[in-house]
Amino acid sequence: MSFELKEGIFVLDELKNVSIKVGRVIEEEEEKEKEWEPAGPTPKPHILDLRHWDRRLLERYEPIYAPMQDFCNLCTMGPCELSQNKEGACGIDLKTQKARLVTIACLIGASAHAAHARHLLEYAIEKFGHDYPIDLGGNVDIEAPNIRLVCGIKPRTLGDLEEVLDYVEQGLVRVLHTTHTGQEEDYIDFESKALEVGMLDHVAMETADLVQMVVFDYPKGDPNAPLIDIGFGVLEVDKPVILVIGHNILPARNIDDYLREHGLEDEVEIAGLCCTAIDTTRYDPKAKIVGTLSYELRAIRSGIPDVVVTDEQCIRADTLRECSRLGIPVIASSEAAARGLPDRTHENPDVIVNDLVSGKAKGVFIRDPDKVGEIAVRVAIEMRRKKGKKPAFMSDEELKAEIRKCTGCMGCVFACPHNLRIDRAMEAAKNGDFSVFKEIEGSCIACGRCEQACPREIRIVDVIMKASYDSLVNKTGKMRAGRGPVQDTEIRNVGQPIVMGTIPGVIAPIGCPNYPKSRKEVSEIIEEFLKRKYIVATTGCHAMDLGMYKDEEGKSLYEKYPGSFDAGGLVNCGSCVSNPHISGAAIKIASIFAMRPLRANYAEIADYILNRVGAVGLAWGPYSQKAASIATGFNRLGIPAVVGPHAAKYRRAYIGKIWKREKWWVYDIKTKKRINVEPCPDALLIAAETKEEAIVQLARLCIRPADTHMGRQIKLTHYIELSKKYLGCLPDDWHLYVRTEADLPLKMKEELLKILEDEHGWKIDWQKKRILEGPIRHYDSGFNPTILEEVFDKYAR
Amino acid sequence: MAVRKRRPPEKLFNSADVQASRSAKIIKPDVLAKMVKKAKNPVLITGGRLLEDEALVDYAVKIQRCGVAIIATGASSKPLLERGVKPDSCVFTLHHITQFLLDAEWQGFKGKPYDLALFLGFEPYYLSRMLSALKHFSKLTTANIDAFYQPHARFSFPNTLDLHHEILEEFVSALGGGSIGKKED
């Protein structure tokens, strides 16, 4: 006789000859913990469990597809031409194929974060154990809002996160399976899958950041996290320089530990690019940041690094080739990018160091991050000693020789992602005028496509760099170290003003540096909102670029604005995987301020956020699949995003049709009626072309149906002021957001009432200065909107 | 300093922006002007480059004065308004406008659907994607009058680059005095 006890508490008395097989042991305390909040309707939702929410969203925010290619070549029945929405051999049409590709892009992005989380978790459990507690301090009780919301799990230890990642990985595989040829035939269903992946991505990112925050003791919600040096100019280039590139802290953290353990922290510079840089400075504020991905080629070609260490994600695929040209050894450390290098993880470090320094090996692949620490430091020191004084980047003679080679064929112009007029710059430079090159440098992302196209093999990136070399290598700035989560106490303070609208919005600049124009633009956009007392919460490359530019007094935005999650505060949450602290803040507003049940209750919370929380993302330079996935995750949670024009290449956006009045409705829980509402927000994902347009769209998308009249008045004031400032006029749609005269900006009230009467035919009582007729609906202070029947049923009936 | 003007190469603005279906037919300015004159409700959609290039604003104003409505995107409304031109819309992005144009039910901003859309003053890569959407999912006739050839428009000027203003001048001259937008159904 045998029993298998899977889960629960059991009492066995007076049994003989019984074999008992014990599954996972559930302690009494843990059993109680399961009751921390009653489980909601969708714990660990299956691929179809939130489909109803997605379809409701997409009825209003219709996908728009902008095909990059109009053919499919993913299977051997093809290639199939799908132009004008034709069907291919498998039956798929162009729209559905684009939705499929977007789903695949999101899968790539979310998988990058999930694998990153898995790497960190495996390492952390090995070093610190399953039972290492997840504790973010007294000010952060809701430690994992996304995990609680999606999985219904309140993680207490590292071990608990294994279950979370198991779920994410299974979910990603389930969606990946649906992208196989010959399956889904409805583009909305593919979009639902993309939204599912975006949601899973936020869970994966939250897991990754939780792990590193707790085991590496990063700042945990500290608004006064230290200011970090950023920019080429902060590097002491006479010291050995280790350049760490990528997104995974593990090798960089071990380099930092090795330096400290050996008293070398003042002898060797550790400098980072991209999110590894951000996370290294969360671990050690003395570490330095060179900049974003767009500085990678510049940093390598400057010849400043003595060794380059790569981990995973956004790293150039020619890093080894570029470094080898300059004799810079490379240490690859991630399975994601072994770079064709031999795996020398188990070899004697002395041999590896010798091979790298002597040039016998251009690079090595070392899987053990602990070992990377020692080798990178030793190689950097010995390389510095061997090379002596660093050679000048490019002599004036070399520069002139390169410029002389140009025939003006314009191959570079047509290869450049921005079609920068390099030909004009070359022609001017031949006459000694480098001003055009200096202008170009501000917009150049140093991708190197121009060099690939040049028939004369001109080192165009180097020429552009050389023309601005002094300002480039002397650039310095300050970034506040990534603080991780928003404190629960901060949410208690700002939850109500955000929902009422008296804090006009939360702007979240996140994402990559593929900007349409100057790298400075993101600072210019954001300062407009900081001055107007919006809350700004940032991550990733945008967080770095916000620290890179200084005002006339030499101060970066981080030095001018406080780091608190409050009106006019600039919060740097951290790296890419810190994005769930922003989605988490929105979730916490619903949970802490509005007391909505959080556990496994995704659709209700997303519905709450869509209708009440005026938060908008800004991805001004998105390029990666991760950015696509992150934005899609925000969208499923009811948070819109404004993206730069390059994001049109993601092929899909979600844009409502403001003129289709029947699309804009909600159930009002108070009056128990379905009513028409103002079209806000009118898009979940939209590309703006210029910074001026982006500013106006951001202010516009902060408007929510549940704004109080005071909140709507403040939001409309900013929207109208910004529109007048940047568009030169009142916005076309301002009247749609007016429910009562109390919504109108005070200073413009009479003028706007007159326009409502004259141009829109509204009836105005001029004695009382009241609106009698005209608005889509009248203001009701108890208005309680939802677009979900289940939420309406729960609270209204 | 003076920059020598010359005929630009006949290349795609991005050599990888390739599709299997038809590429835009290159159109001469006078032929396009005739097409605009014949259109029932043509519209000029302007983009953010108008903030950098005053001449583009001048040409947009001239086109509008020939009776073509303007939809301003990318904040291009500001310089247009400064010249006394009131666009039909100012706040919507090209992305919005494309989404609207894709819907056969849309009656434009003045209650009448557009049958020919001209595009001026855009980042080439952004415009390319929007033209691709319109090519595949609408019947709208699109014409690119920007400096780079746009393969996914129905009609496009060739790459003009430094000669762009000259070709716009020809186009505007050919348009002058027409009776655009007056033709009855």
Q: What's the average model confidence in pLDDT over A325-347?
A: 96
User: A206 and A276, same structural domain?
Assistant: no
What tens digit of pLDDT does each residue of A670-695 get? 999 999 999 999 999 999 999 999 99
Which residue among A182, A215, A248 closes a domain? A215
In a domain, residue A790? The reply is no
- The DSSP call for residue A776 is S
What tens digit of pLDDT does each residue of B122-150 get? 999 999 999 999 999 999 999 999 999 99
pLDDT band at B10 (very low <50, low <70, confident <90, very high): confident
pLDDT at A412 over 80: yes
Q: Structural domain tally of chain A?
A: 4
Task: Judge whether A699 and A705 are in contact, CB under 8 Å.
Answer: no
Tokens of A39: 């489980």
Domain holding A429, by residue range, is: 396-458
- Closest residue in B to A79 (Cα–Cα): B20
Instruction: Identify the CA nearest to A43 among candidates A789, A635, A606, A598.
Output: A598
Instruction: Identify the CA nearest to A471 among candidates A262, A715, A298.
Output: A298
Angstrom distance (rounded) from CA A341 to CA B182? 70
Tell me, what's the pLDDT at A6? Answer: 56
Angstrom distance (rounded) from CA A396 to CA A793? 74
In a domain, residue A778? The reply is no
Q: What's the average model confidence in pLDDT over A140-149?
A: 97
Interface size, chain A vs chain B, as Cβ–Cβ contacts under 8 Å? 175
Mutate to test the interface with B, among A426, A650, A689, A700 (most CBs of B within 10 A): A689
Tell me, what's the pLDDT at A472? Answer: 87
User: A644 and A499, same structural domain?
Assistant: yes
Which residue type occupies A566? Answer: D
ipTM beyond 0.90?
yes
Which residue among A387, A409, A436 closes a domain? A387
Q: What is the mean pLDDT of chain B?
A: 93
Task: Give chain A positions within 8 Å (CB) of B47.
Answer: 689
User: A334 and A380, same structural domain?
Assistant: yes
In a domain, residue A742? The reply is yes
Domains and their CATH numbers in chain B: 25-175 (3.40.50.1220)
pLDDT at B183 over 60: no
User: A765 and A653, same structural domain?
Assistant: yes
In a domain, residue A143? The reply is yes
How near does any CA of chain A get to the CA of B38, in Å?
25
Inter-chain contact B93–A689, Cβ cutoff 8 Å?
Answer: yes
Angstrom distance (rounded) from CA A516 to CA A687? 11
User: A434 and A327, same structural domain?
Assistant: no
User: A405 and A554, same structural domain?
Assistant: no
Q: What is the mean pLDDT of chain A?
A: 95
- Closest residue in A to B5 (Cα–Cα): A424
In a domain, residue A699? The reply is yes
Tokens 């005071």, residue? A710
Tell me, what's the pLDDT at A27? Answer: 59
User: A528 and A592, same structural domain?
Assistant: yes
Tell me, what's the pLDDT at A478? Answer: 97
Q: What angle do CA A434, A435, A439 make, to 5 degrees?
A: 120
Instruction: Identify the CA nearest to A624 among candidates A579, A591, A587, A590.
Output: A579
**Which letter, b or e, does each residue of A140-165 get, where b requires 16 or more Cβ atoms within 10 Å of its Cβ?**
bebbbbbbbbbbbbbbbbbebbbebb
User: A400 and A367, same structural domain?
Assistant: no
User: A365 and A303, same structural domain?
Assistant: yes
Inter-chain contact A83–B91, Cβ cutoff 8 Å?
Answer: no
| A76-85, A175-184, A520-529, B175-184: segment of lowest average pLDDT | B175-184
Pairing of strands A241-245, A652-655: unpaired
In a domain, residue A788? The reply is no
Tell me, what's the pLDDT at A471? Answer: 86
Q: Which residues pair with A506 in a beta bridge?
A: A535, A615
Angstrom distance (rounded) from CA A220 to CA A282? 10
Q: Which residues are within 8 A (CB) of B77 and not within 5 positions of it... i.e. 6 or more apart? A: A727, A728, A729, B87, B90
Inter-chain contact B136–A419, Cβ cutoff 8 Å?
Answer: no
Task: Give CA separation, A635 vs A57, A78, A190, A625, in Å.
Answer: 9, 33, 15, 15
DSSP string, B16-70: T---SSPPPEE--HHHHHHHHHH-SSEEEEE-GGGGT-HHHHHHHHHHHHTT-EE
A727 in contact with B at a CB cutoff of 8 Å?
yes
pLDDT at A25 over 80: no
Task: Judge whether A332 and A341 are in contact, CB under 8 Å.
Answer: yes
Task: Give chain A positions within 8 Å (CB) of B98.
Answer: 64, 66
In a domain, residue A636? The reply is yes
Task: Give chain B positions within 8 Å (CB) of A70.
Answer: 19-21, 132, 136
HSE-up of B132 (CA within 13 Å, CB side)? 30
In a domain, residue A227? The reply is no
pLDDT band at A392 (very low <50, low <70, confident <90, very high): confident
A581 in contact with B at a CB cutoff of 8 Å?
no
Q: Is residue A581 helix, strand or coil?
A: helix
How near does any CA of chain A get to the CA of B126, in Å?
6
Angstrom distance (rounded) from CA A467 to CA A472? 9
Q: Which residues are within 8 A (CB) of A9 and not within 5 positions of it... i.e. 6 or more apart? A: A26, A28, A31
HSE-up of A134 (CA within 13 Å, CB side)? 27
CATH number at residue A556: 3.40.50.2030
Inter-chain contact A729–B81, Cβ cutoff 8 Å?
Answer: yes
User: A185 and A245, same structural domain?
Assistant: no
What tens digit of pLDDT does each residue of B59-79 get? 999 999 999 999 999 999 999
User: A257 and A187, same structural domain?
Assistant: no
Angstrom distance (rounded) from CA A80 to CA A68? 14
Angstrom distance (rounded) from CA A561 to CA A563? 7
- Cβ neighbours around A128 below 10 Å, total: 16
Task: Give chain A positions within 8 Å (CB) of B137.
Answer: 65, 84-85, 94-95
CATH number at residue A83: 1.10.8.190
Angstrom distance (rounded) from CA A643 to CA A640? 10
Helix (H) or strand (E) holding B171: helix B164-175
User: A157 and A103, same structural domain?
Assistant: yes
Angstrom distance (rounded) from CA A653 to CA A45? 24
A178: exposed, middle or buried (Cβ count in 10 Å: 0-12, 13-18, 19+)? middle
Task: Give CA separation, A252 vs A272, A282, B45, B59, in Å.
Answer: 9, 12, 50, 55
